[in-house]
Amino acid sequence: MNFVVIGAGKLGETLSSQLVQEGHNVTVIDNNPAAIQKMLNSQDLMCIEGNGATVQTQLDAGIKKADLLIATTAHDELNMLCCIVARKLGIERSISRVRNPEYYNQIDLIKNDLGLAMVINPELAAAGEIARVLIFPAAAKVEVFGKGRVEVVENRLPEESPLVGLSLAEIYKKLKLQFLICAVQRDQEIYIPSGDFVLKAGDRINVAASHNDLERFFKQNGSIKIKVKNVMIVGGGKIGFYLAEQLCGLGMRVKVIEKDYDRCTKLCDMLPKAVIIHGDGTDQELLRDEGINDVDAFVALSSMDEENIIMSLFVQHNTKAKVVTKVSRSSYCEMASMLGLETLISPKQLANGMILSYVRSLENASRESSIESLYNIIRNRVEAIEFNVNEKIQGITGTPLRELRLKKNMLICAIIRKRQVLIPNGDDRIDPGDSVIIVTKEHRFSELKDILE
């Protein structure tokens, strides 16, 4: 497929790189010659220096032959204008990054006029991700499938975990719950485990189950954490605003620390249910004075990754609070993880994943694919895909799973049948009308039948 990406910033650069890796043709537009040269030196794509909101620049970039335009610049107004121009030039679909809450809240009024297939708000996506983790504090990350009926959560096994040293077969027999450990990260390696796989301390496991079974799973293994009621947020930017608004709506008590006085004044008006503190969140004495030892969760959302990491380490070592850390630079994620920070949020990666999921669904739509949703987990190294089984599939439907010759490094981790969640065993079958969730490490699946050797 052919894509035109406007904006060679962090999101545009990362997105273009992954689109090229998936075999697509990409042309990037930006008016910054240094950014253009950097991309030309590092990626196999075309670049156009110029204003992406002008007709001639888009024509030079081959907009007439493009399947999708993606506007990722730092300016909402420019992104929307780029989409308007593309629509006038015949592009049916475009994606725009819109970050300003005032614009985003009214985007539905003009979405069709702009020709927008998707509106990306990285800050809102990050806030939603953090809120899901705070609702389920035992998890480091939560993905939702089957309209909320199945969750895939990430959790790190501590030294004292009763699961350490047991094979998965022993764990399933011992716990007698409907769940499946569908992926394990050990150091730098990723495993799609079979029943004889033995867990070790420090493993990051991804568990698929219904929400209730997940709560039972963590409770039986001593990993359940106290329900989050009090949250301290450092950083009152867009993510901080969106997050505080969501948490207040859930009935949580929220305190936001922001060092910009004018921003504090605005937050007081926008967040009447939250407590807004003017101060520097990196000041340990301020954190103590504001009750850091009494909160259930701490979220570091400053504009500096280094500050977020340092604040999070201080809170993690001195309190029992659930700690969430925003890290924008991908090179810092691995370092922060090695330092012991478990819940890391990257707005850029979240937005990138949402766009790539839409691109994959667009690509599959031309093939009449049955993919319902697709998520990248474990830092984009594993895919979790939900298929709708609309009809009989020869060799798959009606056949016991133990008799299917499945490809390696993949698992069927859940079947959703008439609102019931089945964590399958070898005797279960896939029937027409089911939704099936597949986890895979090495393969790209467009159809459910692709899972067979």
What is the residue extent of each domain of the chain?
2-120, 127-220, 230-345, 366-451
| Number of helical H runs and strand E runs in the chain | 15, 22
CATH topology of domain 366-451: Alpha-Beta Plaits (3.30.70)
Within 13 Å, how many C-alpha atoms sit on residue 165's CB side? 4
Give dist(CA 409, CA 223) in Å, integer: 28
Q: Which CATH superfamily is domain 230-345 in?
A: NAD(P)-binding Rossmann-like Domain (3.40.50.720)
Q: What is the pLDDT of residue 328?
A: 87
Q: Do residues 235 and 302 lie in contact, with contact meaning Cβ atoms separated by under 8 Å?
A: yes
Closest C-alpha to 347, from 153, 72, 108, 79: 72
Q: What is the pLDDT of residue 384?
A: 86
Q: What is the pLDDT of residue 353?
A: 81
Give how far Cα 402 sits from Cα of 279, 329, 364, 370, 399, Å. Answer: 60, 43, 28, 23, 8
Same fold for the pair 127-220 and 366-451: yes
Q: What is the pLDDT of residue 367?
A: 53
Order of strands, edge to edge, in the sheet holding 25-30?
Answer: 46-49, 25-30, 2-6, 68-71, 94-97, 116-120
Q: What is the pLDDT of residue 45?
A: 92
Q: Do residues 228 and 322 lie in contact, with contact meaning Cβ atoms separated by under 8 Å?
A: yes
Q: Are strands 410-417 and 420-422 parallel, antiparallel or unpaired?
A: antiparallel
Query: What CATH number does the domain located at 2-120 have?
Result: 3.40.50.720
In the predicted model, residues of the chain with pLDDT beneath 50 are none
Query: What CATH number does the domain located at 127-220 have?
Result: 3.30.70.1450
Q: What are the tokens at 426?
A: 């070898």
Measure CA of the first residue to CA of the last residue in the chain; give whole Å.
27
Q: Are strands 410-417 and 435-440 parallel, antiparallel or unpaired?
A: antiparallel
